[in-house]
Chains A and B, each alone.
Chain A
Amino acid sequence: MSTPSTGSRGLGARLYRGLSSVPMWAFALVWLLPSLGLFVNSFRTRDGQRGSGFWRTVPDQFTIENYQTVFEANTVNSLGVSLLNSLAISIPATIIPISIAAFAAYGFAWIDFKGRKWLFIITVSILAIPLQVALIPLLKMYVGGAHLTLPFIGKTLTFIPAWGINGTSTAVWLTHTGFAMPFAIFLLHNYISSLPKDIFESARIDGADHFTIFWRLVLPLSIPVLAAFAIFQFLWTWNDFLIALTMIGSANPDALPTTVAIANLAGDFGRNEHLLPAGAFVQAFVPLVVFFALQRYFVRGLLAGSIKG
């Protein structure tokens, strides 16, 4: 589709070609405008931000005080601490699901067992389940453990003791791990099941067992899709608000991730409004770096995850 439009010739054609990218750039600039405004305002003084729009910035309004303030330990929610809290959630919530889902994806793709097809269909169909349906019982489980009372005889068995992990980052990344499973399996399965069948057959003939095939062949071959999922999951867990808010709450400064921290800042009804651009930019900085550095993998993962859906 890259051929220029037919029709007019000469100057008209050149003009047409030049003009044909105008909608694209107009669109792109409109989309960029909000982020740009945020970035500019994050470097303006309180009075500057309140006095005029970001497009009227003058040099003497420049300050980095906003950034200093949001990192200070004794403001309402120090972003420094919550950045670390976010890492403590995102890192485990990215690493753990990858390994578990990779096993399962291989199992679904290349091990023949009874009920494989239906188990896979169930796995993929729960992709669409809204997280909300699991939140109340999960929080109850984190607070009080999981027990089953046997029917008729009234004896209670304990499967999970009352850990009381609500309010900690453990509860959040554990939840993310469980919720990530269906999508991770779906994405990795799409890729692993499309690996050429020959390599598996020849490896089997050479006497390799499933474990060896998985470890020596499939894992190295799957690096691109593993990277794609890792980026996905990292962005998702870093940017998550609902699960963190439910499992940690909004008033627990010890464990707040960045999203809850800036949402709290935004809830102050204007008192700290001049700090919001800096806070929001700090919150978005890590995912933006990941996004721009690894965009290629991200796009690949996006495509693999939805074209076949």
Chain B
Amino acid sequence: MDRRPHTFAGDASRQAQGKDVGGAVQKLVTTIIGVLVAVGAFTALWVGANLVFNQATQNFKRFSALAGAIVGMVVMIIIDGNQLITGVGIRPDTWEWDALPIYVFWPLVGAGIGAIVGLVLSRLDGRSARLGFGIAAGLGIGLLIAAVLKSRYQLAMRTNPLLLWPTVGIVLAVASNALRRRDPLKGAVTGAFLGWLYGSFGGGLQGVAQANLTETLVAGGVAGALAGARIGLTSNPGVVERARIDEKSRAWIFVGPAFLFYTSMLILPAIQTFVLSLKNRDSDAWVGAENYRTVFTDPKNIDTSDFAGFWGSSILPWFIFLLVAGLVLAFLLGRETGQPLNFVGAPLVPLLMAGALLSFAVFTHLRGTIINNLWWVVGVTLLATSLGLAMAKFSDGAPGEAVAKSFVFMPMAISFVGASIIWRLIMYQARNVTKDQTGVLNAAWVWLGEVTTVQPGQLIIGLIFLLAAAALGFAAIRSLSNSPAAAGLYLVLSVFPLWVAYRTFNGGIGGYEFAESGDRIPLPNNFVQDGPYNNFWLMLILIWIQTGFAMVILSAAIKAVPDDFIEAAKIDGATDSQVFWRITVPQITPTILVVATTIMVNVMKVFDIVKVTTNGQFGSQVLANAMYQEAFLNFDRGLGAALAIVLFLGVLPVMVWNVYNLTKEA
């Protein structure tokens, strides 16, 4: 685990203090008070905004004055807040209440002027009167702001930008208004205002010797007059228009804050990340797709060198066996239901197992960060969903259902960090061969080795597995008359205990080996560190957490299947498993897909588990941890950003699928 100081986010002065609980309590109280004040202020603002817009339909004059005051205040906050104009005092370095007037003076002036302008405008109805007042008021305000502008922002105008930008503004605004069938004159004035502002203050020379007050006043006055003219061109809205203003602005009051939050904290940063991913590690030069090339060609991320070993994988024969078994069962089931092949039912079990084994055979021979991520996605999604479905089926209607389900569900409340610690300590711990194993899995593994290498343990354990195989065989015989496919499934499954029994009688199973001297040596398995299967053991932690989620959702879906369907099928003589596979499963397939995609999206981003257990060592690196290491520990922002974008590309299909469904629905 990294213990380096976190210079990007950390701060030496903060590290020095702290650790005393009293201070922390005080800090918590301050935080909570601060949050309450912020929430209160925000709510008051929000309620206030609603009340203001209530006035739009009730009392338009008041609304106009209030709206003018707010606009005036906001404009002055922006201008004064960026310290463009001379304040009534000098702002202190740290906050003092005495300095309050310095901060509120200009916003209050703006609010006052805005209120007066708004009130007068709402009382003027004639077009020429409104236009005249608007120009006059705008000119006055423009001159005022220009007059108090700090001297370093005073300007000397230049002809070219002053001609160029208003022309560009007018052309663009007129064109866009013409396209939307709006008044081109209004567009022309708006365009001229924005263009003038950009051309004079942006294109002029500021803070140079030629800069002077006169030209600044001209620039400000013209800009103000144009803005005023644009406002004067509008007429006072009628009743219908007011209702429209109310509805439209209300939508923004309700949706706006959330929109602002997720735009500024998700959408814009995501776009920035994409830009960063095209730059170098310090983001000061463009490198094109270089970072992406690194991501996809670095053997750390995709390593195909060992793929030849795939053909020799010991998993492969099992995969072929299960695949063939699945196809045979599908044929048998198809004969029962009158189709050429039917996969929904018994064949699904060996086929899913075959799929899982194939993915294991592939992923253990293709290595690297991206491969690991794919392995996680396939392994966790498949296992968590099917285990969740199995538990939902087992528990459905059984006595003690609620308690048993809450045991399975409980890991959902435990953090990934906590779960990783639990599994590392309680389940996976591997101790020196001379000591007692304290991890559950190793204790069981070593115990099995100890027992099955001597008599009578070997005999007993072997018989137990033979018995299990026999029970499955018996079940097969019993269901043969009802459904040959089900019988076939039991037979396929009975191969596994048979194989284990065979291994038991041939030298034993479990963690033991014989030294040359003939001594037995315990052979614990280092679950977390021995690659490539350590990936699977890490996945198991996430499966432990996510199964509860799948179980809850699928259990609710199973209970929502109409009882009539099930009763009708039972009356027709269907067995429990036939009801499950032929009625319940088809009914809940959409839910299964939702559960699987939800888990898939979560798995894609897995970070905590790998970070806490191996920190990406021992061939267990995943994208999210690689991204964290590159961006925040190696300070390679370009590569880190590229890894984040690759992660995003991974969930993109799910996003597209969601959008597709939503557009279909709406």
Q: What residues make up the interface of A, taking CB atoms closer than 8 Å to B?
A: 1-3, 5-7, 20-21, 23-25, 27-29, 31-35, 37-38, 41, 49-56, 73-74, 78, 80-81, 84-85, 87-88, 91-92, 95-96, 99-101, 103-104, 106-108, 111-114, 116-117, 119-121, 123-139, 141, 143, 146, 150, 152-153, 155, 157-158, 166-167, 169-170, 174-175, 177-179, 181-182, 185, 209-211, 214, 235, 238-242, 245-255, 259, 262-264, 266-268, 273, 276-277, 279-280, 283-284, 287-288, 290-292, 295, 299, 302-303, 306-307, 309
Q: Are A241's CB and B601's CB within 8 A?
A: no
Q: Considering only CB atoms, which chain A residue lies closest to B267 in the complex?
A: A126
Task: Return the contact of A137 from the options B25, B57, B269, B553 (Cβ within 8 A).
Answer: B269
Contact partner of B422 (CB less than 8 A), chosen from A34, A119, A246, is A34
CB-defined A-B contacts under 8 Å, sample of 15: A1-B558, A1-B563, A21-B400, A41-B426, A100-B261, A111-B250, A129-B655, A132-B648, A136-B273, A136-B644, A178-B261, A209-B50, A241-B607, A251-B15, A306-B553
Does residue B519 face the partner (Cβ distance < 8 Å to A)?
no
Chain A residue nearest in CB terms to B82: A158
Q: Could you tell me if A130 and B3 are in contact, using CB atoms closer than 8 angstroms?
A: no
B426 near A95 (CB under 8 angstroms)?
no
Q: Give Cα A96–Cα B20 distance, bound, in whole angstroms.
A: 28
| A250-B6 in contact given A73-B19, A137-B276, A182-B262 (Cβ < 8 Å) | yes
Residues of A within 8 A of B612 (CB): 241, 263, 266-267
Chain B residues whose C-beta falls within 8 Å of the C-beta of A52 in the assembled complex = 436, 438
CB B587 to nearest CB in A, in angstroms, measures: 11
Binding site of B, secondary structure by majority: helix, strand, loop or mixed? helix
How far is B27's CA from A170's CA once the two chains are assembled, in angstroms? Answer: 11
Report chain B residues within 8 Å CB of A3. 397, 566, 570
- Option from B32, B202, B400, B427 in Cβ contact (under 8 Å) with A150: B202
Most B C-beta atoms less than 10 A away, residue of A56, A107, A264: A107
Q: Which of B250, B269, B394 contacts A138 (CB 8 A)?
A: B269
Query: Which of A136, A150, A175, A291 has most B Cβ within 10 Å?
Result: A136
Knowing A32-B407, A288-B414, the reply to whether A133 touches B648 (Cβ < 8 A) is yes
Q: Flag whether B35 is at the interface (Cβ < 8 A).
A: yes
Chain A residues with CB under 8 Å of B262's CB are 123, 126, 178, 181-182
Smallest Cβ-Cβ distance to B396: which chain A residue = A1
- Minimum Cβ distance to chain A for residue B422 (Å): 5
Find out whether the CB atom of B410 lies under 8 angstroms from the CB atom of A291.
yes
Contact A211 B50 (CB under 8 A): yes
Q: In the complex, what distance in Å separates the CA atom of A290 from the CA atom of B415?
A: 13
CA distance A2 to B576 in the complex (A): 11
Main secondary structure of the interface of A (DSSP, over half): helix
Query: Nearest residue in A to B274 (C-beta to C-beta)?
Result: A133
Is the pair B9, A210 in contact by a Cβ cutoff of 8 Å?
no
- B252 surroundings in chain A (CB, below 8 A): 113
Bound together, the chains give a CA A178 to CA B627 distance in angstroms of 21
Q: Which residues does chain B contribute within 8 Å of A166, judged by CB atoms?
A: 8-9, 11
Identify the 3 closest CB pairs spanning chains A and B, nearest first. Answer: A267-B1, A178-B265, A249-B6
Which of B4, B255, B270, B439 is close to A134, meaning CB atoms less than 8 Å apart?
B270
Pair B631/A276 contact, Cβ less than 8 Å:
no
Q: How far is the CB of B253 from chain A (nearest CB, A)?
A: 8
Chain B residues near A150 (CB, 8 Å)? 202
Give Cα distance in the complex from A291 to B406, angstroms: 10
User: Could you tell me if A116 and B251 are in contact, using CB atoms closer than 8 angstroms?
Assistant: yes
Please determine whether B425 and A251 come into contact, CB atoms closer than 8 angstroms. Answer: no
Q: Is B266 an interface residue (CB 8 A)?
A: yes
Is B138 close to A, CB under 8 A? no
Known contacts A137-B273, A157-B82, A239-B416; decide if A28 and B24 are in contact (CB<8 Å): no
B113 within 8 A of A: no
Contacts of B310 in A (CB 8 A): none
Judge whether B228 is part of the interface by a CB distance below 8 angstroms: no
Q: What are the residues of chain B within 8 A of A267 when measuring CB–CB?
A: 1-3, 612
Contact A129 B658 (CB under 8 A): no
Q: Which of A5, A91, A125, A251 contacts B5 (CB 8 A)?
A: A251
What are the interface flags for B603-627 relative to A under an 8 Å C-beta threshold, 1 for contact and 0 otherwise? Answer: 0110110011000000000001001
Bitwise interface map of B from 625 to 666 toward A, beta carbon under 8 Å scored 1, else 0 = 001100110000100110111011011001100110011001
Decide: A249 and B9 in contact? CB cutoff 8 A.
Answer: yes
What's the nearest-Cβ distance from chain A to residue B485, in Å? 18
Residues of B within 8 A of A7 (CB): 575
Q: Are B439 and A21 in contact (CB under 8 A)?
A: no
B426 and A179: CB pair below 8 A?
no
Cβ distance B537 to chain A, nearest Cβ, rounded Å? 13
B594 near A306: Cβ-Cβ < 8 Å? yes
Interface residue B43 (Cβ < 8 Å from any Cβ of A): yes
Residue of B nearest to A95 (CB): B39
* Distance from B167 Cβ to chain A, minimum over Cβ atoms (Å): 15
Q: How far is the CB of B38 from chain A (nearest CB, A)?
A: 8
Q: Chain A residues near B594: list those with CB within 8 A.
A: 306-307, 309
Contact B9 A133 (CB under 8 A): no
Cross-chain contact A119 with B259 (CB below 8 angstroms): yes
Complex: A152 Cα to B651 Cα, angstroms: 37
- Inter-chain contacts of B407 with A (CB < 8 A): 28-29, 31-32
A235 contact set on B, CB distance < 8 A: 412-413
A158 proximity list for chain B (CB < 8 A): 82
Q: Which residues of A contact B285 (CB under 8 A)?
A: none
Q: Which residues of chain B are near A252, meaning CB under 8 Å?
A: 6, 9-11, 14-15, 18
Contact partner, B18, options A20, A24, A254, Cβ 8 Å: A254
Complex CA distance for A90 and B662, rounded to whole angstroms: 31
Cβ–Cβ contact A1 & B10, under 8 A: no
Q: Cβ of B480 < 8 Å from any Cβ of A?
A: no
State whether B414 touches A284 (Cβ < 8 A). Answer: yes
| Per-residue interface assignment for chain B, residues 489 to 529, with 1 indicating a CB less than 8 Å from any chain A CB and 0 otherwise | 00000000000000000000000000000000000000000
Q: Which residues of B contact A34 (CB under 8 A)?
A: 419, 422-423, 426-427, 440, 544
CA distance A194 to B399 in the complex (A): 34
Given known contacts A137-B273, A249-B9, is B415 in contact with A238 (CB within 8 Å)?
A: yes
Residue of B261, B390, B398, B559 near A181 (CB, 8 A) is: B261
Closest chain A residue, CB of each to CB of B420: A266
**Chain A residues near B422 (CB-CB < 8 A):** 34-35, 37-38, 280
Q: With the chains together, A2 CA to B397 CA distance in Å?
A: 5
| Residue with the greatest number of chain A CB neighbours at <10 A, chosen from B397, B422, B548 | B422
Least CB distance from A35 to B in Å reads 7
Whole-angstrom distance from the CB of A22 to the nearest CB of chain B?
A: 9
Give the residue among A50, A111, A150, A166 with the most B Cβ atoms within 10 A: A111
B contact residues around A126 at 8 Å (CB): 262, 266-267, 655
- The answer to whether A211 touches B54 (Cβ under 8 A) is yes
Give Cα A284–Cα B415 distance, bound, in whole angstroms: 7
- Flag if B268 contacts A137 (CB, 8 Å): yes
- Least CB distance from B148 to A in Å reads 19
Q: Is B147 an interface residue (CB 8 A)?
A: no
Q: Is the CB of A283 within 8 A of B251?
A: no
A211 touches B47 (CB 8 A): yes
Q: Is the CB of A1 within 8 A of B426?
A: no
Q: How far is the CA of A142 from the CA of B615 in the complex (A)?
A: 26
**Cβ-defined contact, B390 with A27, below 8 A:** yes
* Complexed CA–CA distance, A113 and B244 (Å): 10
Give the complex CA separation of A259 and B597 in angstroms. Answer: 27
Q: Which of A54, A116, A124, A137 contacts B272 (CB 8 A)?
A: A137
Q: Tell me whether B1 and A92 are in contact (CB under 8 A).
A: no
